[in-house]
Amino acid sequence: MNTNSNVYTVIYTAIIVIVVAAVLALVSQSLKGRQEANEKADTISQMLTAAGFGTKAEFGKMGNAAVIDKYSAEIEEAFTVGIDGEKKADLPEGKVFSPKELKALNYIIKDPEKAEEAALPVFRFKGGLTVVPIYGAGLWGPVWGYIAFDESLTIRGAYFDHESETAGLGARIKDDPSFQARFAGKKADFSAPERSAVFEIVKGGVSGEDGALDNKIDAITGATMTSKGLDEAIDTWLYAYGAWFNAIPASACDIQGESCCCSGCQKSCCASCPCEKCCTSEDCTVSCGPDCCSEQCGCCSDNCCETKSEEE
């Protein structure tokens, strides 16, 4: 064959392309298992960091197997729920959601016609911690993360990641622990009538004049678009989880914390339900008759409780 002909050049080029493509495909396939293991361990470390079981740096030093073992030791159950608040299915043991899977689910959540098909993952850990994911768009690419709630639905911690936000600015959602720490102690407004009001990352900072600050934190200075994107991601996902969170029975302490039924209780803040069981227990210094309390533990009227000493 004439090595100077166009036919030779085309055939030679085609062969080289096919060989290189085959080698790359082989290498990619051989590394796929390791890549998936790394991605799973990284996702787990983000959830564990949000839940306060350690720091991302600490988990990064442990190795994949140790991170997965830690997850197995701390997780109690994992399942999916619908936007109607109903449980859909238990997740297979060790199943977590990669950013790609969260991206696909994000499209479903935001589509009014498909939202009812959404199966939202919920991860419940020891200590009464519930971790849920969020996903959205930052300035230059996707942002995602995990938020941990305790039994009173107060945020215990959060961890966020990104694909390509600006170093020193938007990238601080991941790199700046002080930003993530702003979420601790806050609450989401799961009863908000509008999605945008569930949680707020406020540009220019929040002040005491804002009224209820439980669901507000300061935005990152100089990273307006990233902060806005993260805010929208949090709102979108927590709003989708709203029905499920609202359906979680609040503890008796949350329901009755300011009422006579729990004010004199010295054990577990009257964790027993219904209310009359708490108020007549030996652990309480006040007593209410059953007519004073509702089945939902809504508590006593102003004058229906008397101290036990007075009753005796």
d(CA 60, CA 41): 9
Which is higher by pLDDT, 275 or 46? 46
The CB density around residue 224, as the number of other CB atoms within 10 Å, is: 15
Among 65-74, 137-146, 232-241, 268-277, whose mean pLDDT is lowest? 268-277
pLDDT of 81 over the 80 cut:
yes
What pLDDT does residue 205 have? Answer: 64
To the question of pTM greater than 0.75 for the whole model, the response is no
Report the relative pairing of strands 200-202 and 216-218 from DSSP bridges.
parallel
Cα–Cα distance, 136 to 233 (Å, whole number)? 5
Mean pLDDT, residues 171-180 taken together: 94
Is the predicted pLDDT of residue 22 greater than 60, yes or no?
yes
pLDDT of residue 12: 81
pLDDT at 151 > cutoff 70: yes
Task: For residue range 109-149, list pLDDT tens digits in order.
Answer: 999 999 999 999 999 999 899 999 999 999 999 999 999 99
Which residues, listed in sequence order, are joined to residue 80 by a DSSP beta bridge? 89, 121
* Contact assessment for residue 286 and residue 263, using Cβ atoms and an 8 Å cutoff: yes
Q: What average pLDDT does this structure show over 64-84?
A: 95
Please give the average per-residue pLDDT across 265-272, as a whole number: 36
Task: Report, as an integer, the average pLDDT of 48-66.
Answer: 94
pLDDT score, position 207:
56
pLDDT bracket for residue 300 (50, 70, 90): very low
Grouping H, G, I as helix, E, B as strand and the rest as coil, residue 256 is helix
List of E strands, the chain: 75-81, 87-90, 120-125, 129-137, 142-149, 155-162, 200-202, 216-218, 286-287, 306-307
Per-residue pLDDT reduced to its tens digit, 215-239: 899 999 999 999 999 999 999 999 9
> Closest Cα partner for 124 from 70, 189, 79?
79
Residue 310: predicted pLDDT: 41
Assess whether pLDDT exceeds 70 at residue 42. Answer: yes
3-class DSSP assignment, residue 125: strand
pLDDT score of 257 more than 90: no
Amino acid at 175: D
Contact 248, 128 (CB under 8 A): no
Q: Is 32 exposed, middle or buried (0-12, 13-18, 19+ CB in 10 A)?
A: exposed
Higher pLDDT, 282 or 26: 26
| pLDDT at 301 exceeding the cut of 50 | no
User: What pLDDT shows up at residue 206?
Assistant: 66
CA contacts within 13 A on the Cβ side of 250: 15
Task: Give every CB contact of residue 80 below 8 A, 6+ residues apart in sequence.
Answer: 87, 88, 89, 91, 119, 120, 121, 122
What is d(CA 143, CA 231) in angstroms, rounded to the nearest whole number?
Answer: 10
- Which of 140, 225, 131 minimizes the C-alpha distance to 183? 131
Please tell me the predicted confidence (pLDDT) of residue 270.
39
Alpha carbons 33 and 222: distance in angstroms, whole number: 39
**Integer Cα distance of 131 and 26 in angstroms:** 37
Spatial CA neighbour of 43 closest among 102, 105, 96:
96
Mean pLDDT of all residues in 39-54: 95
Cβ proximity of 251 and 242 under 8 Å: no
Structure tokens at 223: 């990273």
pLDDT in tens, 186-213: 999 998 888 888 999 998 766 555 445 5
- Is it the case that residue 254 has pLDDT exceeding 70? no
Could you state, in order of their start, the residue ranges of all structural domains in the chain? 44-247, 252-311
Whether 309 has a pLDDT exceeding 70, the answer reads no
Question: Which carries the bigger pLDDT value, residue 256 or residue 10?
Answer: 10
